[in-house]
Amino acid sequence: MKKIIVVLVCCLLLGSGIRAAEQELPVSSPSGRLELVVKVDQGVAWTLYYDQEVVSSSPGMEIELEEYGVLGQQVRLKTIQLQNHQNLVNSPFYKKDEIEEVYNELRLDFRGNYSVVFRVYDQGMAYRFETNLKGEVKVMSETLAFDFPKADKAWVPYIRESIYRYQASHESPYTVQSLEEMYADSLVILPFLVEQKSGVKVVITEADLEDYPGFFLKVNAARNGFVGELSPYPLEEEPGGHNNLQSIVTRYADYLAVTSGKRSYPWRVFAVSGNDAELLNNDLVYLLAAPSRIADTSWIKPGKVAWDWWNDWNISGVDFEAGINTETYKHYIDFAAEYGIEYVILDEGWSESTDLLKIVPEIDLPAIIDHAQAKGVDIVLWAGWAPLRKQMDEVFATYSAMGVKGYKIDFMNRDDQPVVNFYYEAAQKAAEYKQFVDFHGAYKPTGLHRTYPNVLTYEGVFGLEQVKWTEYTDFPTYDVTAPFIRMLAGPMDYTPGAMRNANRFNWRAIHSNPVSQGTRCHQLAMYVVFESPFSMLADKPTAYQREAESTAFVAAIPTVFDATVALDAKLGEYLLMARQKDDNWYLGGMTNWDGRDLKVDFSFLPEGQFEAEIFRDGINAYREATDYVREVVRVDRNTQMDIHMASGGGWAAIVRPLSQER
């Protein structure tokens, strides 16, 4: 990692530790827009301001250790350090190739060999505990309390699988409610957005979650804020869930974790913005994660993948019976090769569900891999996490030797300490075999994709698969909401690419021949808007071959970028983004069920003349959602272009230097 580091340190020593009179310790963001005031008295409290307006506050923070008591209670302050940092961080496999990291840090060292560290960026604030204790410790509880006295409403993703309190897929639409309307004691998954009466937005999440459980939120008793609840440590588990692929916890301990006494705990993150578009380009989770532990990342290849499961293997016009068999996957490979798609995935069904080393008779995996390699395509395998956990070394060794490049690991549906540790173990083991990972049935990203860059993407999103069975009829609104909230945490494997599209009145759930909500151009724009270095093409090869124009456009869009610019956006209504890779720019716009007119300002372009290949909603797209128009026009940095997006619509463009041959 390349860094330019500037550190200015102001240190105040307070002897062996004193319980002084109440102290207020201010620290501002580099621009001064955000100000954090930390109050140290009997405990540690804080208040966060944005443009001098109170955004959030915490009456106290505590971690209870069985061996050492409650850290953060009856504190004795030893040292105060204020540091200014400026780093340049390389960020491969991301939405930009480098990030200028600038923040001010307040470090409070307390008697008892622990510290609380606060960092204030222009994009938000984060804090965490650090301990320097001997041996192992048992974490009994952590107090997380965040007040929002000026909150207007919240975008709430409740846990949907309520039968298990802490066991869920983290795939939920957003319910927009005031704090008064929120359901008491119902757990809310992260990331989670609160809007102030002034319109300022705050997204709460966590970063650098390692060897520790994740946390949920629930509205507090006063309904002016939230309290955290963490997944307890599992004591007993049994097989269950889909095809017995999950490991269901049947008994929990009365503690959260057993961990090292010398460690840094996860960051509690508050992204803050008065401009909705800024949330689309927030880097806090990535920056707060531990740096890469893979020295050589040259073997990691992001790209797109032809996916089988969503389209239910429903290819046609072939002379063999389609399904989970060798001939079908050779057909997917031929399609991928035709359009320059890097990968084909074999989803659930290629092996016995509970034994990944037993390939079903219909699959000749060596023949499939040989055919793929001859065509310049690579193979990825699906794996249920519970069997993989038992067979990890054998699975990775066996299939890496055959040429498999990565795994889609599914159905964890938990974020307790052992499952969090599984993520790190799987990422590390896969890296040893030069393989990558896509986590499905996953909790939100917390920066593991920086620590282990072979973790290319995560699910944890109410994605396109839901149209196969749900009664939810507002995907376009979700599609222009999740990028401000869920995507702020990291890449999301939404799995776009439907070639069968419908308006809100004609759509219905069809499991075997699914149809998306919104227009064709809404789907195309997702390949620009949705971050995922490993990006699925959800529909069947037959559909893509019939829609060659749309498919060629999608295939030309990269999955990682050199720069990102959020052009215009309003949470839950619309967004318009531009991303750069090499000399080309890629633009994507999406709207909710409201048709919308916007202006595209091309001033982000460098000097010179460019050609824009544009896909826009056709005049009848509001009723026939597959209707679109492709056109090629000249633009430069002075161009202002009026665009229209139909109900549930979208707009997408690839902008190339005029001299570049295609």
User: What residues are annotated to the active site?
Assistant: 410, 465
Alpha-carbon distance values, 580 to 477, 565, 615 (Å): 26, 9, 18
DSSP letters for 63-76: EEETTTEEETBS--
DSSP for residue 662: -
Residues 407 and 537: their CA atoms lie apart, in Å, by 16
User: For residue 110, what are its two tokens?
Assistant: 């307390």
Alpha carbon distance 565, 604 (integer Å)? 8
Give dist(CA 444, CA 482) in Å, integer. 12
Distance, in Å, from the CA atom of 64 to the CA atom of 256, rounded to the nearest integer, reads 10
- Strands 77-90, 34-40: pairing kind: unpaired
Q: To the nearest 10°, the Cα dihedral for 485, 457, 1, 280?
A: -20
Q: Distance between CA atoms of 457 and 279, rounded to whole angstroms?
A: 19
What distance in Å separates the CA atoms of residue 555 and residue 550, rounded to the nearest whole number? 9
Concatenated DSSP letters of 507-531: ----SSS--EEB-HHHHHHHHHHS-
Count the residues in the chain: 662
Q: How many beta carbons lie within 10 A of that of residue 319, not counting itself?
A: 5
**Residue 443, CA distances (Å) to 166, 227, 412, 446, 595 in order:** 11, 19, 8, 9, 33
